[in-house]
Chains A and B, each alone.
Chain A
């Protein structure tokens, strides 16, 4: 049910306000639901969140497995793996991945992990799950649109998945899909129908993200329960809000870039193409500019980094405060820094383009803005550390992953200062230093935030706990493994080893890294196996995990823990609770925690 619910019989619909009008949300848990309406075409934000999460996990397994495959090539360039042929067929003849397959694997790995896992899987899951629960709403502003958001994502997934099986293979021009490789069907084998499917899938994905983003913003601004002022919202909600703002303002620009790309591919236009020769034959395209595509792409591409990391930041703030039994340090500064990051995210895209012939004066401007982002980021790091400082820390898997997030965000963020300097970037651009930087700060950190969220909110999602021992094993191997994988890449990058090379061993300069790459690849396999342990823990715990007996297992203050253990559609069986205080009253006046629904006492201070 929703405010879009069909009203049967002769009825009259009045008014313009009622999300609850026209039907009773209190009945959400009681009206008859079929398997299809409950689990497939569900309009319950909690079920949609689970759909996003499970689809994201499936994609994460595929995307991570692709990285294992191409790491085999990088780590063992001279070794034949006959079993590869049984998986990849003619893409791995004689047990060697072909160059075309290598580029396809790298492209799909990036696309899947950046968009389908760390955008849809992370933000789609937790924005959907937590926004209505934490602001005190029955559901999203538009549950139907929310459902559409998931199914557009599902369609995008189907199209992307199908591109893996076309005869000419999937797109292979890199996750950024730069022209001319992406704009000319004849440029490479991966530029053919695989590229069309990639663009179609991404267009559907953008629609999904826009539908989701509209809903998140509307729900947060418009559907908070009584007493839930903006400054009483948990930082998770602030983070989801700014993430949605980033998404709705930047994804359309990417879409415009893709539309022009499609016209270049199929209508003979020259937006991105000029003076191109294919197999010695000059094409008729004149006056296009591949740099134009880069501007349009990175206008999304850089905010995308923050679309990925902001939800993780919000969840880490929440998990750290709860498990430290302390209020978050600098609540308003945390909101301010999220806002500053949100603004600056739109003003730094050209730092990805320092070596495109950008005017040096303009480059200096983007260097300054890029380095400015370090300020709000540092504020957040400082506040996380001061939150756990002298806290009574419960080292749950969720808390460990949150602390791990802070660690990787620091170490990955610091190398961003290097790359943000245009003069240093001229040397480091397109080397393994860049790979190491963004994998630690964006990939590993965001995954740690996602893991923290999954371990922490799993009991709310499924009414059971995940296994702690497996969680600890998962954390320590992943943390150590991530550093072992990406730390050495910084040195490779500083030595100039370029990214996207199929076989570095033919260059004298890079042969010295053979042992290092060998080592990295072995660790990758180990870390991938550990993620399978997490996947096992996740699915096993859904059915066999220790059952929740207390609706508020972490002794948290926020509204989601005031619902029943198995909340129906509508979340609260009676009326929605009213909010009286901010969400971080931990260890206040000698009391362990005070829920948001507890009125402020007569002699009690505000915070």
Chain B
């Protein structure tokens, strides 16, 4: 007879599978982009410069969340709360910069209802923003949990899962940016 055995925490496992799922959705989008690109009425245009700034922001947020994991394990809870707040804030800034990019495109006559090449940028980037904001919500949950007094959490699983997801949306954006830059 034996007790329940676990190897990796189930939540970590589930997250990796979920990331595979999300990746497949974006593969669906980018595959559709490639198919459309080979067809008529494909308009080539420059991506907004602000996207590169937002890339720097999300890269920085990956650093801050990794530091948050480190200080959590060292039980520096004050620093930990600061870092996850900063990460969430950087996530919101990233989303805001992406929206700024949209307004920049619209100002140049590149609207959502325009050519498919433009529509794809709006849809793909918007879907990525939604995933980043999902991560922000998760970080806010972590933030409030860090203030609870009736339960002291010593398990780093929560923040490790959040960090893994955050690095994932970061890497996903890098992939999307390179893809959208190269596949013009």
Q: Is B112 an interface residue (CB 8 A)?
A: yes
Please choose the segment from B32-40, B80-88, B93-101 that sits at the chain A interface, where 4 or more of its residues have CB less than 8 A away. B32-40
CB pair B10 A142 closer than 8 Å: yes
Minimum Cβ distance to chain B for residue A86 (Å): 44
In the bound complex, how far is the Cα of B103 from the Cα of A281, in angstroms? Answer: 32
**How many angstroms from the CA of A213 to the CA of B22 in the assembled complex?**
13
Q: Smallest Cβ distance from A574 to chain B, in angstroms?
A: 7
Complexed CA–CA distance, A251 and B27 (Å)? 12
Contact across chains for A253 and B17 when beta carbons are under 8 A apart = no
Q: Does B29 contact A (CB under 8 A)?
A: yes
Look across to chain A and name the residue whose beta carbon is closest to the beta carbon of B152.
A12
Count of A residues near B, CB < 8 Å?
Answer: 67
**Contact at A253–B28, with CB atoms within 8 Å?**
yes
Q: Which residue of A lies closest to B39 (CB)?
A: A289
**Contact indicator per residue, chain B 125-155, by CB within 8 Å of chain A (1) or not (0):** 0010000000000000000000000111111
Check A295–B11 contact: CB distance below 8 A.
no
Residues in A168-222 with C-beta less than 8 Å from chain B = 210, 213-215, 217-219, 221-222
Residues from 1 to 19 in A contacting B, C-beta threshold 8 Å: 3, 7-19
Chain A residues 554 to 586 lying within 8 A of chain B, measured CB to CB, are: 574-578
**A268 touching B4 in the complex, CB below 8 Å, given contacts A253-B24, A289-B35, A292-B32:** no
Q: At the interface, yes or no: B14 with Cβ under 8 Å from chain A?
A: yes
**Bound form: Cα–Cα A169–B150 in Å:** 53
Closest B residue, CB atoms, query A251: B21
Is there an interface contact between B3 and A269, defined as CB atoms closer than 8 Å? no
CB of A484 within 8 Å of the partner chain: no
**Residues of A contacting B42 with CB < 8 Å?**
287
Question: Once bound together, how far apart are the Cα atoms of A594 and B120, in whole Å?
Answer: 59
Cβ contact within 8 Å between A252 and B1? no
Give every chain A residue within 8 A of B22 (Cβ-Cβ): 252
Residue A414 is within 8 A (CB to CB) of chain B in the complex = no
User: Is residue B113 contacting chain A, with contact meaning CB distance below 8 A?
Assistant: yes
Give residues 146-184 of B contacting A (CB, 8 Å). Answer: 150-157, 160
A19 with B1: CB separation less than 8 A: no
Is A25 within 8 A of B4, CB to CB? yes
Most chain B CB neighbours (cut-off 10 Å) among A7, A215, A218, A270: A218
Is there contact, CB below 8 Å, between A214 and B17?
yes
What does the 1/0 interface line of A261-299 toward B look like (CB < 8 Å)? 001000111110010000000000011110010011001
Interface with B: A61-69, A223-231, A329-337, A361-369, which one? A223-231
- Select which of A14, A249, A289 is within 8 A of B24 by beta carbon: A249
Which residues of chain A are near B32, meaning CB under 8 Å?
256-257, 260, 271, 292, 295-296
What separation, in Å, do the CA atoms of A271 and B13 have in the docked complex?
35
**A14 with B155: in contact, given A210-B18, A269-B112 (CB under 8 Å)?**
yes
Complex contact B5–A224 (CB within 8 A): yes
The reply to whether A214 and B14 form a contact with Cβ atoms under 8 Å apart is yes
* Residues B39-96 near A (CB distance < 8 A): 39-42
User: How distant is the Cα of A12 from the Cα of B75 in the complex, in angstroms?
Assistant: 13
Residues of A within 8 A of B4 (CB): 19-20, 25, 137-138, 223, 225, 576
Q: Chain A contacts of B11 at CB under 8 A?
A: 141-142
Q: In the bound complex, what is the Cα–Cα distance between A299 and B115 (angstroms)? A: 25
A367 to B30, CA, bound (A): 26
A252 CB contact (under 8 Å) in B24, B36, B120, B157: B24
> Is A250 part of the binding interface, using a Cβ–Cβ cutoff of 8 Å?
yes
**Contact of B7 with A by CB under 8 A:** yes
The reply to whether B17 and A288 contact each other, CB–CB distance below 8 Å, is: no
Q: What is the bound-complex CA distance between A24 and B4, given in angstroms? A: 11
Instruction: Tell yes or no: B8 within 8 A of A by CB.
Output: yes
Question: Which residues does chain B contribute within 8 Å of A309, judged by CB atoms?
Answer: none
Give Cα distance in the complex from A600 to B69, angstroms.
46
Q: Which of A250, A289, A299 has the most CB of B within 10 A?
A: A289
Q: Which residue of B lies closest to A267 (CB)?
A: B112
Contact A7 B151 (CB under 8 A): yes
* Interchain Cβ contacts under 8 Å between A and B, 28 examples: A7-B151, A10-B150, A10-B152, A13-B151, A13-B155, A20-B3, A141-B10, A141-B14, A142-B14, A215-B14, A218-B14, A219-B10, A222-B7, A225-B4, A253-B28, A256-B28, A257-B28, A259-B123, A267-B113, A268-B113, A270-B113, A270-B115, A271-B119, A274-B41, A287-B39, A287-B115, A296-B28, A576-B2
User: Interface residues, chain B, CB within 8 Å of chain A?
Assistant: 1-11, 13-14, 17-18, 20-22, 24-29, 31-32, 35-36, 39-42, 112-113, 115-116, 119-120, 123, 127, 150-157, 160
Other than A271-B32, A286-B40, give 17 A-B pairs with Cβ distance below 8 A.
A7-B151, A14-B155, A20-B4, A137-B4, A141-B10, A214-B18, A223-B10, A225-B4, A226-B2, A248-B18, A269-B119, A271-B120, A274-B41, A287-B116, A289-B35, A575-B1, A578-B2
